[in-house]
Structure 1
Amino acid sequence: MTQVIIDGDACPVTNSVIELTLGTGIFVTIVRSFSHFSTVVQPNHVKVIYVDDGPDAVDYRIVKLAQASDIVITQDYGLASLLLNKVKMVMHHKGFIFTHQNIDTLLEQRHASAQFRKSGGRTKGPSAFTEQDVSVFESIFSSIIKEQISEKEE
């Protein structure tokens, strides 16, 4: 059975995922560090797992939890690269899908930017997350969910 696992510390589409999976039979697991603890009561199809605040603790737990039929949502290129051979799909919160064809380029760009910053250079951060970004994500994610439901019915 498909489950959606969210790298939840800073994911701006968590609420969208919860709403879009409501009533579909698809479960959502949000993995967060204790520094992002929340007392918000989640719907029955949502489970929140808290892990220590250590570096990459959330990533390690996601790798441990992930199964072949899962969809993982993360903005972390390193985590995405670890999951590509393990899960059904790895998706960015802006709606694009991580693949074997694009992950090497993304990792190389991240490395080059880190080296540039290390040598004293300055790079721009990611652009602000907009309502249009939410709409794009929701449209793509809805299509993916519909595919999952039709596969389950076959």
Structure 2
Amino acid sequence: MTKLYIDADACPVIREALAAARAQDVPCVIAGNSTQNLERHLRASDPREPQDPAHPDRGFWASTLQVGVGADSADFAIVSAITPADVVVTQDIGLADIVLGRGARAIGVRGHVYNPLTIDSMMFIRHEKKKVRRAGGRTRGPAAFTDEDRERFSHNLARLLREARQ
């Protein structure tokens, strides 16, 4: 069964991701470092554990996964927990690459659905930009996050969750 994992580190669409999980009765795990108050994203009425212990992946429930403050701690926790049926929300291309390699699906916070056929070129571009920055150069940062990005994310995540559950 499908679960939705949210890489909560600097994620602007946690509310939308939770709404999609609630709408499609998909369990959800919000992963982030211990400096974040991850519980603030959940409603008091959200179940925190499966309602049917015999079938823990059926129906919506939400939990938080607090990890250490170290770099990529949330990423490692997500990678160790996912199955090929799962969907991961992340803006980290490196995490998306690993998720795709494990057979799961990944979507960026602007609604870009990561694709196994193009992730290698995205990783190459990321690497080249990092080399430029290390050498003292500058690269362009991301454009401002817009309402259109939020809408695209919600639409594409709903589709991705439907596909994952089939």
Instruction: Indicate whether the TM-score tops 0.5.
Output: yes
Change (3 A) 1:46 1:23: same
* 2:86–2:164 CA contact under 8 A, matched in 1: no
Task: Tell me how far 1:38 sits from its aligned partner.
Answer: 4.1
Q: Report the secondary structure of 2:101's partner residue.
A: coil
Q: Report the secondary structure of 2:116's partner residue.
A: coil
Identity of aligned residues (%): 29
Output the amino acid matched with 1:66.
Answer: I
* 1:2–1:69 CA contact under 8 A, matched in 2: yes
1:127 partnered with 2:143: yes
Task: Find 1:137's aligned residue among 153, 157, 166.
Answer: 153
- Aligned residue number for residue 105 of structure 2: 89
1:64 partnered with 2:51: no
CA separation in 2, counterparts of 1:148 and 1:100? Answer: 15
CA separation in 2, counterparts of 1:148 and 1:111? Answer: 30
CA separation in 2, counterparts of 1:39 and 1:30? Answer: 9
Change (3 A) 1:27 1:39: closer
CA separation in 1, counterparts of 2:97 and 2:134? Answer: 23
Residues 1-150 of structure 1 correspond to what in structure 2 (within 5 A)?
1-40=1-40, 41-42=42-43, 43-44=46-47, 45-148=61-164
Change (3 A) 1:68 1:145: closer
* 1:71–1:87 CA contact under 8 A, matched in 2: no
Change (3 A) 1:28 1:127: same
* 2:5–2:78 CA contact under 8 A, matched in 1: yes
Per-residue CA deviation, residues 97-135 of structure 1 (Å, 9 max, x unaligned), is 212211111111111111111111111211111111001
The normalised TM-score by structure 1 is 0.89
The size of the alignment, in residue pairs, is 150
Structure 2 residues not aligned, in runs of 5+: 48-60
The normalised TM-score by structure 2 is 0.83
